[in-house]
Chains A and B, each alone.
Chain A
Amino acid sequence: MYAAITSVTLVGGEARPVEVQVHVGRQQEVFRLSGLGDTAVREAKDRVRAAIASTGIQFPNRTVTVNLAPADLPKAGTDFDLPIAIGVLAASGEIPGPRPAVSVGELALDGSVRAGYSSLGAAVLSARRRIPCLVASDVAPRAAVVPGSVVYGVASLAEAVDLLRYDDRAPVRAEPPASQTTVPDLADVEGQPLARRALEVAAAGGHHLLLYGPPGGGKTMLARRLPGILPPLGDEEAVEVALIHSAAGLRRDPEPVRPFRSPHHTASRAALVGGGSGVPVPGEVSLAHRGVLFLDELAEFPRANLDSLRQPLEDGYVTVARRGSTVRFPSRFHLVAATNPCPCGYDGDHRRPCVCRPSVVARFRQRVSGPLLDRMDLVVKVGRVEKLSLGELVGESSTTVAARVMEAVRFGAESDGGRIGGEARRVLLDALDKGLVTARGAVRLAGLARTIANLARVERIGEEHLAEAMALRGVW
């Protein structure tokens, strides 16, 4: 007597099918489980046995063998409880010929179903395979957001059995998640016209940004407002981002607000780029995928950890190798870093003297110049607010700026992009000749100018766009 039930696991932020194979033999009573599960998976045996008993069904007193295929793929978590239980009941004849479905969920000993972290993955697989999926009822409406999925919510094992026996229930309706993340508004930032402009350009072109200045100037405040002016995530992107969070054991609905991650400088390398024993877990660079990775106090991060950001920055993904599996997590993030100009924070301030020795300042600046500086298209000083006389940009709300950014992104996507006007080309070549910019610098300058032209909705990069790019580029 044999049954195979489809379930799902997350590998590198992707939903991978898992076949839960159950065989019920004739020998003496024993319950075996194979397929590289972690402790939580192995403990499923006890929960499944109790949940089946609580549902009022006799657990087969024969040999039950469960295999989670592919058997060489490490698996974790409690989401295999439900498919194992269904498999046992199908193989022992309790559910004759269950209809194909993806099922996930943790079983409580009383037979009720609780949500694990794979519900969204199940919905993704449901859409891909065009079969329905069964998930815990409290998360079902959110999982049903996945385009093309057919989701049923089940509150208990009994309900699941019913559903598989009789096809008489309608799937749940999608309930777009109410955004749980509130992004602070740019209108709260006083002054800082230069930094605001830089933030807008960064948002419109996905340029990495370094903010520096004395403590209390508003560097962090500005960075936190970046997600609020970025274009919202598309449906599929939102699902992708939420899946990666699930893989890290974090709950995130497929909502349109882009993620904002700000790891502390004491975070380990594994926490930054991913790791974990057994099943690889995504790190901050992947949790910030399609969103913002904010490194506050950049100079405090250990050099080795910053070095490990190179691959994700360059390739847009990060490879985590663990015993038995190598997994690739996407990591296309928008980097924003902030730092003081010197250890005391007041170098270059005319109100308060800097108390650092020059050699200390030099060493400090060197630390920041390390691996990341040449990725920063924009370097901007965020001074203390005292230049309120520049009224033009003060108090603009995130909504206003976001609209301009959106327009620019759309314009950039529609135009063929890249063309640099004759005058701008001449100026750039002259600057190269004079050694004012390096070849690489010129390429990045042109990219920045492209974004500025997009913001102005101009097809051809003009000399004024190039000039603004040069002024915003900044130096550390």
Chain B
Amino acid sequence: MIRRLGPDDVDYPAGLCDLEASPRVHLMGTTATGPGVAVVGTRRCTGYGLGLGRAFGAAIAEAGWSTISGLARGIDAAAHHGCLAAGGHAAAVLGSGVDVCYPVENRSLYDQILASGGAILSEYPPGTPPDKWRFPERNRIIAAMAAAVVVVEAAERGGALITARLAAEIGRPVFVVPGDVDRVASVGCNRLIKDGAHPVLGAEDLVSELELVIGPRRAAAPNGRHIPETGCDIETLAITWGLTLAETLVEVGRLELEGVVGRVGDMIVPR
């Protein structure tokens, strides 16, 4: 189901009010109830960057915040994956209509975001094709929705730098991973640091820094397994927890017997 949200809707992402003429957005899925952090970076990233993106996504999710990114290949996808694996809320802001999955290779990611109770958002009406010129425009939505922006890897020019600049303009703190001075995928990052962005030294460091911006992280769930606020079915939980179905059933049953989670239909929800 696609909904169109304006500033008056309760689940309109509050950060967008900081933009001039707060844009209406189209939504599939559910927006986060708490704050979110954007993790962005180049599509032409290194394996090192992918690993960091994933770790950041997971760390942010475990802290109880939503992970926002753009569903692009590379860093974006890694951050989404990390977030889902930790059972967090993932929000993807598209440069096409919400019903147009681009790039196509991220289709299963797109499905998992929806299935796990995440959000797919876009400023553009359903059916809008992914035109190149829309992506910089889309980046201002990512910047505004987030309480902070993390740039994992960025070349000298590119979307991630645009996101970082737009974020700084509306007063969002920008965190950047420093890299080798001669590595193409880190030139943009290092430049941002020189211009005054905060360097981050790993996932734990990132979360500590973010706590200063957003507030304290969520306490870990009893056994470290997170269930999204919006609920999640057992098979998806197995995927995001990285467990077999049998193990997942036992874990879910334990949480149910403790009264920590309940059911709404086939969805497991925190109580």
Residues of A that sit less than 8 Å from B by CB: 193-194, 197, 341, 348, 350, 353, 380-381, 383, 386-387, 389-390, 392-393, 427-428, 430-431, 434, 436, 463-464, 466-472, 474-475
Residues of B within 8 A of A471 (CB): 234, 248-250, 252-253, 256
Judging by beta carbons under 8 Å apart, are A390 and B235 in contact? yes
Q: How many residues of B contact A (CB 8 A)?
A: 30
In whole angstroms, how far apart are the Cα atoms of A145 and B244 in the complex?
46
In whole angstroms, how far apart are the Cα atoms of A250 and B115 in the complex?
48
Residues of A within 8 A of B265 (CB): 341, 348, 381, 475
In whole angstroms, how far apart are the Cα atoms of A393 and B236 in the complex?
15
Residues of B within 8 A of A380 (CB): 266
Judging by beta carbons under 8 Å apart, are B233 and A434 in contact? no
A348-B265, A381-B233, A475-B263 known; A436 vs B256 contact (CB < 8 Å): yes
A348-B266, A434-B259 known; A387 vs B235 contact (CB < 8 Å): yes
The smallest beta-carbon distance between B91 and chain A, in angstroms, is 15
Residues of B within 8 A of A390 (CB): 235, 238-239, 245
Residues of B within 8 A of A468 (CB): 246, 249-250, 253
Judging by beta carbons under 8 Å apart, are B245 and A393 in contact? yes
In whole angstroms, how far apart are the Cα atoms of A82 and B76 in the complex?
84
Give 1 or 0 for each of B245-271: 1 = CB within 8 Å of chain A CB.
110111111101101000101110000
A194-B245, A197-B246, A387-B236 known; A466 vs B259 contact (CB < 8 Å): no
Judging by beta carbons under 8 Å apart, are A467 and B259 in contact? no
The smallest beta-carbon distance between A218 and chain B, in angstroms, is 14
The smallest beta-carbon distance between B251 and chain A, in angstroms, is 8
Within the complex, which residue of A386, A427, A469, A474 is in contact with B266, where a contact is CB–CB below 8 Å?
A: A474
A431-B257, A466-B253, A470-B256 known; A194 vs B29 contact (CB < 8 Å): no
B114 within 8 A of A: yes
Residues of A within 8 A of B252 (CB): 467, 470-471
A353-B1, A474-B263 known; A430 vs B257 contact (CB < 8 Å): yes
Residues of A within 8 A of B28 (CB): 350
Judging by beta carbons under 8 Å apart, are B256 and A386 in contact? no
B111 within 8 A of A: yes
How many A-B Cβ pairs are below 8 Å? Answer: 84
Judging by beta carbons under 8 Å apart, are B245 and A392 in contact? yes
In whole angstroms, how far apart are the Cα atoms of A253 and B84 in the complex?
54
Within the complex, which residue of B1, B246, B257 is in contact with A436, where a contact is CB–CB below 8 Å?
A: B257
**Nearest neighbor of A433 in chain B, beta-carbon distance:** B259
Judging by beta carbons under 8 Å apart, are A392 and B233 in contact? no
**Nearest neighbor of A386 in chain B, beta-carbon distance:** B111
Within the complex, which residue of A197, A350, A427, A434 is in contact with B114, where a contact is CB–CB below 8 Å?
A: A350
In whole angstroms, how far apart are the Cα atoms of A306 and B94 in the complex?
50
The smallest beta-carbon distance between B107 and chain A, in angstroms, is 10
Judging by beta carbons under 8 Å apart, are B257 and A193 in contact? no
Known: A381-B233, A470-B256. 8 other contacts (CB 8 A): A193-B238, A348-B266, A350-B28, A383-B235, A389-B239, A427-B257, A467-B250, A470-B257
In whole angstroms, how far apart are the Cα atoms of A431 and B260 in the complex?
11
Judging by beta carbons under 8 Å apart, are A194 and B234 in contact? yes
In whole angstroms, how far apart are the Cα atoms of A428 and B253 in the complex?
11
Residues of A within 8 A of B245 (CB): 193-194, 197, 390, 392-393
In whole angstroms, how far apart are the Cα atoms of A228 and B263 in the complex?
31
Judging by beta carbons under 8 Å apart, are B249 and A197 in contact? yes
Q: What are 25 inter-chain pairs, A to B, with CB distance below 8 A?
A: A193-B245, A194-B235, A350-B114, A380-B266, A381-B233, A381-B265, A381-B266, A383-B233, A383-B266, A386-B111, A386-B115, A389-B108, A390-B235, A390-B238, A430-B257, A436-B256, A436-B259, A464-B250, A466-B253, A467-B251, A467-B252, A467-B253, A467-B254, A467-B257, A471-B249
Residues of B within 8 A of A393 (CB): 245
In whole angstroms, how far apart are the Cα atoms of A405 and B253 in the complex?
22
**Nearest neighbor of B115 in chain A, beta-carbon distance:** A350
**Nearest neighbor of A353 in chain B, beta-carbon distance:** B1
In whole angstroms, how far apart are the Cα atoms of A353 and B252 in the complex?
28
**Nearest neighbor of A354 in chain B, beta-carbon distance:** B1
**Nearest neighbor of B235 in chain A, beta-carbon distance:** A387
Residue of A431, A467, A475 ringed by the most chain B CB atoms within 10 A: A467
In whole angstroms, how far apart are the Cα atoms of A194 and B235 in the complex?
7
**Nearest neighbor of B108 in chain A, beta-carbon distance:** A389
In whole angstroms, how far apart are the Cα atoms of A474 and B250 in the complex?
13
**Nearest neighbor of B268 in chain A, beta-carbon distance:** A471
The smallest beta-carbon distance between A107 and chain B, in angstroms, is 60
The smallest beta-carbon distance between A357 and chain B, in angstroms, is 15
The smallest beta-carbon distance between A183 and chain B, in angstroms, is 24
Residues of A within 8 A of B108 (CB): 389
Judging by beta carbons under 8 Å apart, are B244 and A392 in contact? yes
The smallest beta-carbon distance between A420 and chain B, in angstroms, is 13
The smallest beta-carbon distance between A433 and chain B, in angstroms, is 10
**Nearest neighbor of B244 in chain A, beta-carbon distance:** A392
Residues of A within 8 A of B251 (CB): 467
In whole angstroms, how far apart are the Cα atoms of A427 and B233 in the complex?
23
In whole angstroms, how far apart are the Cα atoms of A348 and B230 in the complex?
13
Residues of B within 8 A of A392 (CB): 244-245
Give 1 or 0 for each of B213-242: 1 = CB within 8 Å of chain A CB.
000000000000000000001111011000
**Nearest neighbor of B266 in chain A, beta-carbon distance:** A381
Closest 10 CB pairs of A and B: A467-B253, A381-B266, A471-B253, A470-B253, A471-B249, A471-B252, A467-B254, A193-B245, A468-B249, A467-B250
In whole angstroms, how far apart are the Cα atoms of A393 and B250 in the complex?
16
**Nearest neighbor of A475 in chain B, beta-carbon distance:** B263
Residues of B within 8 A of A387 (CB): 235-236, 239
Residues of A within 8 A of B257 (CB): 427-428, 430-431, 436, 466-467, 470
The smallest beta-carbon distance between A469 and chain B, in angstroms, is 7
In whole angstroms, how far apart are the Cα atoms of A464 and B257 in the complex?
11
In whole angstroms, how far apart are the Cα atoms of A341 and B238 in the complex?
23
**Nearest neighbor of B251 in chain A, beta-carbon distance:** A467
The smallest beta-carbon distance between A98 and chain B, in angstroms, is 65
Judging by beta carbons under 8 Å apart, are B253 and A469 in contact? yes
**Nearest neighbor of B29 in chain A, beta-carbon distance:** A350
A350-B29, A386-B111, A431-B259 known; A193 vs B253 contact (CB < 8 Å): no
In whole angstroms, how far apart are the Cα atoms of A232 and B155 in the complex?
66
In whole angstroms, how far apart are the Cα atoms of A192 and B266 in the complex?
14
**Nearest neighbor of A379 in chain B, beta-carbon distance:** B266
The smallest beta-carbon distance between B108 and chain A, in angstroms, is 8
In whole angstroms, how far apart are the Cα atoms of A193 and B233 in the complex?
12
Judging by beta carbons under 8 Å apart, are B115 and A193 in contact? no
